[in-house]
């Protein structure tokens, strides 16, 4: 049964009205949208699916409308511009390797995008929190392959991305987490001392500083959505597809590939993977990128880059999360069932980083990791717990 339009929130109806005007102007004939379905969004934007009930012959049957309702911060890059440029970059790729919805139209004045509808797909988060272990594992491997395919397809296209951003009015572009990562490297030793009473040795700090090279102009750069949390990945008949490019950027591929070791760091749903699953994801990803970067097929070279990326993310996540623990050892996100406690996650991140650092010969980092884990466990009961595996995979663990 079709619901009355009065049932829908005003922002959703405003988004559809703006989309009708845009599509009518673009096609030269009247376009009418109906049967809106609120897909959520954020405090910055409204996202809705709508059926095209009156349209030119070339229009699809349904579209997804994303309307940015918040104005950009004056001194920050505009996430609307980054989303448009990202979607334009992908739309120029062949359909068989396109990792995202195709952009149909956009309006800079209305801050509106009209995108291809990928259908009523589950998200990767839905799969990871389901009871189907086999499906969850398939989707993780599909996500890893999709990540590698996207990176391989966008290697060498950073100048194209920059040109698209300049046309939208952005004069400079960067990884949105790079500034925080550099701040973490500089400020975390003092934070560890003040919150946990842990002193980072000069050697451990130097080893952390070395990871900052991944934030610069390495020769392994490709597009990253930046925010690839599980709920921003759709499971479709053509594999996992990426959505939400408000922080789209180019950066070293290891910074995303290390998610196989630190599952979705900083995301609310940052749980552990069963033994062997991360390694399988890494192999699926590597199969997609070796044609572009054959030297990353050398285990020693790749392991070193992944170790540096892992340390960078652990320092960054600690920088983000440790100040919150002063107030209380809450969950990372608001949903207690879908998010671990901060102390549990941080203890897991540091323990895993210490194990990898030991294999890589970074003795000072091993000592720091052991000290951080011991301090967390001594102060917070939840830090002694193992980080839970994603619910769908607990029978695999």
pLDDT digits (tens, 9 = 90+) for 292-349: 999 999 999 999 999 999 999 999 999 999 999 988 999 999 888 889 999 999 999 9
Angle at 108 between CA 107 and CA 109, to 5 degrees: 95
5-116 and 122-393, same CATH topology:
no
Whole-number Å distance between alpha carbons of 177 and 227: 10
Does residue 248 have a pLDDT over 90?
yes
CA 237 to chain CA centroid, Å, is 21
Give the bridge partners for 63, in sequence order: 50, 116
Residue 237 has pLDDT above 90, yes or no: no
**136/390 Cα distance (integer angstroms):** 9
CB 274 within 8 A of CB 396: yes
Residues 6+ apart with CB under 8 A from 391: 128, 129, 130, 131, 271
pLDDT at position 397: 59
Query: Beta-carbon neighbour count of residue 236 at 10 Å?
Result: 14
Whether pLDDT at 2 is above 50: no
Q: What does the alpha-carbon distance between residue 198 and residue 189 come to, in Å, rounded to a whole number?
A: 8
Give the fold, CATH level 3, of 5-116.
Phosphorylase Kinase; domain 1 (3.30.200)
Cβ 239 vs Cβ 146: under 8 Å: yes
- Residues of the chain with pLDDT > 70, as a percent, come to 97
Q: How far apart are CA 22 and CA 19, in angstroms?
A: 5
249, 173 contact by CB (below 8 A):
yes
Classify strands 62-68 and 45-54 as parallel, antiparallel or unpaired.
antiparallel
Q: Is the dihedral of CA 59, 93, 164, 151 positive or negative?
A: positive
> For the chain, what is the mean pLDDT?
92
Q: Distance between terminal CA atoms of the chain?
A: 44
Q: Poorest-confidence range of 115-124, 276-285, 348-357, 363-372?
A: 115-124
- Phi, then psi, of 130 in degrees rounded to 5: -90, -170
Q: Under 8 Å CB-to-CB from 259, ≥6 apart: which residues? A: 228, 265
How many beta carbons lie within 10 A of that of residue 67, not counting itself? 25
| pTM exceeds 0.95, yes or no | no
CA separation for the pair 282, 133 (Å, rounded): 19
Specify the CATH number for 122-393; select among 3.40.50.720, 1.10.10.1100, 3.90.1200.10, 3.40.640.10: 3.90.1200.10
Task: From 91, 3, 82, 79, select the one nearest 48 (Cα to Cα).
Answer: 3
- pLDDT of residue 1 exceeding 50, the answer is no
pLDDT average, residue stretch 112-128: 94
- pLDDT at 55 > cutoff 90: no
- Percent of the chain having pLDDT more than 90? 78
Residue 215 has pLDDT above 90, yes or no: yes
What is the average pLDDT across 199-204? Answer: 98
The residues spanned by each domain of the chain are 5-116, 122-393
The mean pLDDT of 48-53, rounded to a whole number, is 92
CA dist., res. 175 & res. 383, Å (int): 31
- Whether pLDDT at 214 is above 60: yes
Q: How far apart are CA 307 and CA 353, in angstroms?
A: 8
Worst-scoring range by mean pLDDT, 4-8, 10-14, 159-163? 4-8
Q: Is the pLDDT of residue 140 over 70?
A: yes
Q: What is the pLDDT of residues 73-98, one digit of tens each?
A: 777 789 999 999 999 999 999 988 99
Sign of CA dihedral 298, 299, 300, 301: positive
């Amino acid at each position: 049964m079709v619901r009355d339009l009065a049932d829908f929130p005003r922002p959703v109806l405003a988004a559809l009205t703006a989309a009708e005007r845009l599509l009518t102007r673009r096609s030269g004939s009247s376009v009418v949208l109906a049967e809106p379905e609120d897909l959520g969004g954020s405090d910055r934007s409204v996202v809705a699916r709508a059926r095209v009930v009156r349209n030119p012959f070339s229009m699809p049957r349904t579209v997804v409308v994303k309307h940015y309702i918040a104005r950009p911060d004056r001194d920050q890059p505009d996430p609307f511009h980054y989303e448009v440029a990202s979607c334009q970059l992908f739309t120029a790729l062949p359909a068989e390797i396109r990792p995202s919805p195709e952009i149909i139209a956009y309006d800079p004045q209305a801050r509106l995008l009209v995108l291809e509808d990928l259908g009523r797909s589950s998200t990767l988060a839905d799969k990871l929190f389901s009871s189907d272990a086999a499906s969850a594992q398939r989707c993780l491997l599909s996500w890893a392959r999709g990540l590698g395919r996207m990176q391989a397809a966008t290697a060498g296209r950073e100048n194209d991305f920059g040109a698209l951003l300049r046309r939208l009015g952005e004069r400079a572009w960067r990884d949105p987490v790079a500034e925080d990562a550099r701040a973490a490297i500089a400020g975390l030793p003092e934070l560890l001392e003040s919150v946990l009473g842990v002193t980072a040795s000069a050697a451990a700090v130097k080893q952390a500083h070395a990871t900052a090279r991944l934030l610069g102009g390495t020769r392994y750069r490709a597009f990253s959505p930046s925010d690839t949390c599980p709920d921003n990945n759709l499971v479709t008949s053509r594999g996992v597809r990426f959505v939400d490019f408000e922080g789209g950027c180019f950066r070293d591929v290891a910074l995303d590939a290390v998610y196989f070791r630190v599952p979705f760091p900083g995301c609310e749903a940052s749980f552990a993977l069963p033994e062997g699953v991360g390694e399988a994801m890494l192999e699926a990803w590597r199969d997609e990128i070796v044609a572009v970067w054959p030297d990353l097929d050398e285990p020693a070279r790749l392991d070193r880059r992944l170790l540096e990326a892992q340390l960078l993310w652990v320092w960054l996540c600690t920088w983000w999360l440790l100040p919150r623990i002063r107030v209380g050892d809450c969950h990372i996100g608001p949903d207690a069932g879908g998010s671990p406690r901060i102390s549990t996650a941080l203890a897991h991140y540091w323990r895993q980083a210490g194990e990898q650092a030991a294999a890589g010969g970074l003795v000072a980092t091993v000592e720091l990791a052991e000290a951080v884990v011991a301090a967390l466990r001594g102060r917070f009961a939840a830090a002694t717990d193992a980080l839970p595996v994603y619910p769908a995979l607990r029978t695999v663990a």
